[in-house]
């Protein structure tokens, strides 16, 4: 690969301020033009929100399943972070390239776009797909939409590598990532009239305590030693409610987070909490005031990536990226969404997740080189069409 060309592409990608709250379509159109000019067939899939788009491009034959290389085009905000340089102007200091998204995950996208013209000139037996998504950093709505499209396409990819920053280590499993907003509606009254009101704050506290007890039980259940915390986790990260010390609170809401182990689902945990609310809390609340309610609103729910569903792909990719055993990461990725539609997926990309989302995010040029070597090793296998992706 040509490192200068890759850095130049990365510079242009970083300059698109694709923070998730902003449009990403300009970046997608720019990438689409590059890919079309080297002969790719490109689909730009627009989101519901104006200015949001996914990209799905194909090099090689389109009558058979290919390998998809996928990256999210959005980045996290920079507000409140002390950067040493403009986060949207790539700056090289030593062997590091600084900029928002340099690691997470425009570095990977730059490597793929740099390699695309060479891959386009080859006679690929296994097609190569390039996918770019939006809103990965919020609710993964872009990949949910792209996956729905791929699920109904005549041919869907036979496998996918998502280039999240893993320092080019091969990752075959990650936990799910779900957040639900729980809203408790009680019944307000003067606090001296204890029996005439239903405290939403106290009810929320009971649910939080139940979730905490549930966590203790989960520690005795399914376990996966690839993760630092080897169990499904349930956690309440924020709570707000009530008005004053002498008013029985009408409203209280909290954010419930569930990180489900591969092979389990966030809804298993959620259903237990719901059942507890229905059986143990709501009847007594409604006996005092019928409008009392407990509502669960999904903020985000991304399924886990299960390493029992991508073993062949992991074995095929490992020697190409120079890693030996597939590992696990505890951050959520889009991989589980693709696995759910039957596309085996692994995660491997340049850069270190520990600098992602932080001020002075960077990717090392040696990491871009390593990703370039991975793509160079992949190319002849796609040309020969002998990459065993399924099974």
Active centre residues (catalytic): 74, 136
**Contacts to Zn ion from residues 187-246, by CB under 5 A:** none
Q: Considering the complex, state which of residue 164 and residue 360 has its C-beta at the smaller distance from Zn ion.
A: 164
How far apart are the C-alpha atoms of 340 and 348, rounded to whole Å? 19
CA distance 112 to 153: 23
Contact residue for Zn ion among 74, 91, 104, 323 (CB under 5 A): 104
Residues 151-170 that bind Zn ion (CB under 5 A): 164
Contact flag: residue 334 with Zn ion (CB under 5 A): no
Query: Which is nearer to Zn ion, 294 or 321 (by Cβ)?
Result: 321
HSE-CB at 138 with a 13 A cutoff on CA atoms is: 14
CB of 107 to Zn ion, least distance (A): 11
Stretch that binds Zn ion, among 3-11, 97-105, 222-230, 383-391 (CB under 5 A): 97-105
Show contacts with Zn ion in window 358-377 (CB under 5 A): none
Q: Where are the alpha helices (DSSP H) in the chain?
A: 3-15, 25-37, 107-121, 141-151, 200-218, 266-276, 282-288, 311-321, 335-340, 365-384
For residues 104 and 307, which CB has a smaller minimum distance to Zn ion in the complex?
104
Which one of 88-96, 98-106, 111-119, 184-192 is the stretch in contact with Zn ion (CB under 5 A)? 98-106
Sheet with strand 251-259: strands edge to edge: 233-241, 251-259, 177-185, 293-302
CB of 136 to Zn ion, least distance (A): 6
Shortest-Cβ-distance residue relative to Zn ion:
104
The owner of tokens 């695309």 is 116
What is the rounded CA–CA span in Å between residue 366 and residue 59?
27
Residue labelled with tokens 């871009």: 368
Question: For 314, how many CA atoms within 13 A lie in the half-sphere containing its CB?
Answer: 20
Distance, in Å, from the CA atom of 242 to the CA atom of 252, rounded to the nearest integer, reads 6
CB of 286 to Zn ion, least distance (A): 44
Which candidate, 324, 391, 382, places its Cα nearest to that of 66?
382
CB of residue 89 to Zn ion, shortest distance in Å: 20
Q: How many CB atoms lie within 10 A of CB 379?
A: 17
Q: How far apart are CA 279 and CA 206, in angstroms?
A: 13
Under rule CB under 5 A, how many of the chain's residues touch Zn ion?
3
Nearest distance from C-beta of residue 133 to Zn ion, angstroms:
10
> Judged by CB under 5 A, which stretch of 32-40, 103-111, 301-309, 380-388 contacts Zn ion?
103-111
Kindly state the smallest distance separating residue 105's Cβ from Zn ion, in Å.
Answer: 5
Looking only at residues 112 through 141 of this chain, which bind Zn ion when binding is defined by CB under 5 A?
none
Which stretch, 104-112, 171-179, 204-212, 305-313, contacts Zn ion (CB under 5 A)? 104-112
Judge contact between 11 and 100, C-beta under 8 A.
no
How far apart CA 236 and CA 339 sit, in angstroms, is 28
Closest CA to 265 of 294, 230, 222: 222
- The residue (of 280 and 299) whose beta carbon lies closer to Zn ion is 299
- Positions that interact with Zn ion (CB under 5 A): 104-105, 164
């Amino acid at each position: 690969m040509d490192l200068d060309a890759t850095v130049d592409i990365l510079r242009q990608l970083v300059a698109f301020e694709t923070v998730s709250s902003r449009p990403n379509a300009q970046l997608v159109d720019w990438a689409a033009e590059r890919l079309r000019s080297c002969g790719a067939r490109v689909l730009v899939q627009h989101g519901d929100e104006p200015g949001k788009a996914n990209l799905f491009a194909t090099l090689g034959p389109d009558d058979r399943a290919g390998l998809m290389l996928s990256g999210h085009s959005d980045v996290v905000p920079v507000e409140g972070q002390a950067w040493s340089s403009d986060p949207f102007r790539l700056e090289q200091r030593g062997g590091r390239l600084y900029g928002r998204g340099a690691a997470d995950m425009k570095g990977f996208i730059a490597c793929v776009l740099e390699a695309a013209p060479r891959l386009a000139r080859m006679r690929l037996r296994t097609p190569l797909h390039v996918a770019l998504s939006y809103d990965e950093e919020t609710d993964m709505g872009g990949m949910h939409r792209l996956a729905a499209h791929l699920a109904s396409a005549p041919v869907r990819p036979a496998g996918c590598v998502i280039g999240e920053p893993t320092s080019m280590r091969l990752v075959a499993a990650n936990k799910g990532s779900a957040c639900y907003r729980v809203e408790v509606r009680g019944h307000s009254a003067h606090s001296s009239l204890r029996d005439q009101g239903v405290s939403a704050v106290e009810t929320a506290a009971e649910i939080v305590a139940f979730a905490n007890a549930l966590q203790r039980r989960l520690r005795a259940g399914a376990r996966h030693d690839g993760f630092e915390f080897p169990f499904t986790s349930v956690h309440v990260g924020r709570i707000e409610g009530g008005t004053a010390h002498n008013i029985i609170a009408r409203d209280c809401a909290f954010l419930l987070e569930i990180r489900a182990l591969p092979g389990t689902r966030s809804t298993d945990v959620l259903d237990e909490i719901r059942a507890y609310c229905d059986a143990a809390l709501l009847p007594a609340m409604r006996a005092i005031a019928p409008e009392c309610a407990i509502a669960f609103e999904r903020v985000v729910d991304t399924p886990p990536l299960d390493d029992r569903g991508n073993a062949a792909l992991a074995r095929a990719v490992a020697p190409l990226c120079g890693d030996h055993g597939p590992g696990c990461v505890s951050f959520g990725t889009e991989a589980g969404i693709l696995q759910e539609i039957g596309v085996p997926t692994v995660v491997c990309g340049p850069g270190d997740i520990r600098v992602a989302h932080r001020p002075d995010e960077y990717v090392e040029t040696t990491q871009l080189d390593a990703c370039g070597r991975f793509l160079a090793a992949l190319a002849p296998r796609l040309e020969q069409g002998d990459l065993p992706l399924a099974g």
